Amino acid sequence: MTKNMNIKKAASALNQNQRQIKAALDGKEVIFAAVEKGLGRAQFLLRLEDNKTATGTPRGLFTSGTMRVSPGHIVIVEGNIKNGFEIMARIDDLATAKKLVKLGYMPPKILAFATSTVTGFSSETEEDIFDRSEVDISSAGEPSMGGSSGRRQQESMAAALALAERLGAPVTKEDVDIDLI
């Protein structure tokens, strides 16, 4: 039996994620990293701009149910190498990542690290990295392959999206990554 999603927590995570991305787009100096692999116990191996690796843990609101972090994601982090980093935001949209590189805010190496982490092949599949399995929120009432728990999760995420929009962060359904189990 799956656990019910905390809608307020999911909306808050989406809101904070969008605020960090907006701040980065506005030119705030942030540290970008590419997630190389999961180390277990909410620890991730991060690749930084200078080709160094460090560990990072997601912010408390970013759980696997609200904002899943996995290898290949580009993340915004705070902290240092000695004490580790805290993952503050996750960038899913390839267009946003390319815009950050074009504006000179994010080093191109980070995008290259993220694409090579997931694919390991060529740049042809670069588009697939950021193409997460989308869930059509408009069809939340229709039966899905996930059964009633999948439908419940879709409805919960739709409610979290609506709440995040009311909190003031413009969130689209592409910003939401739902992994139906």
Domain termination residue (choose one: 129, 151, 167): 129
Q: What percent of the chain has pLDDT over 90?
A: 31
Q: Provide CB contacts within 8 A for 155, sequence distance 6+.
A: 140, 141
Verify that 31 and 108 share a domain, yes or no: yes
Same domain (yes/no): 111, 142: no
Confidence at 126, pLDDT banded by 50, 70, 90: very low
For 76-93, what is each residue's pLDDT tens digit? Answer: 999 998 888 999 999 988
State residue 141's pLDDT score. 37
125 and 141 part of one domain: no
Region 122-139 average pLDDT = 44
Residues 152 and 77 reside in one and the same domain: no
66 in the same domain as 17: yes
CA distance 101 to 163: 31
Per the structure, the complete domain to which residue 142 belongs is given by 137-175
Do residues 51 and 121 both lie within one domain?
Answer: yes
Looking at the fold, whether 146 and 123 belong to one and the same domain comes out as no
Mind listing the pLDDT tens digit for each residue in 11-39? Answer: 888 889 999 999 999 989 999 999 998 88
Angle of helix 7-25 relative to helix 94-103, nearest 10 degrees, comes to 30
141 lies in the same domain as 72: no
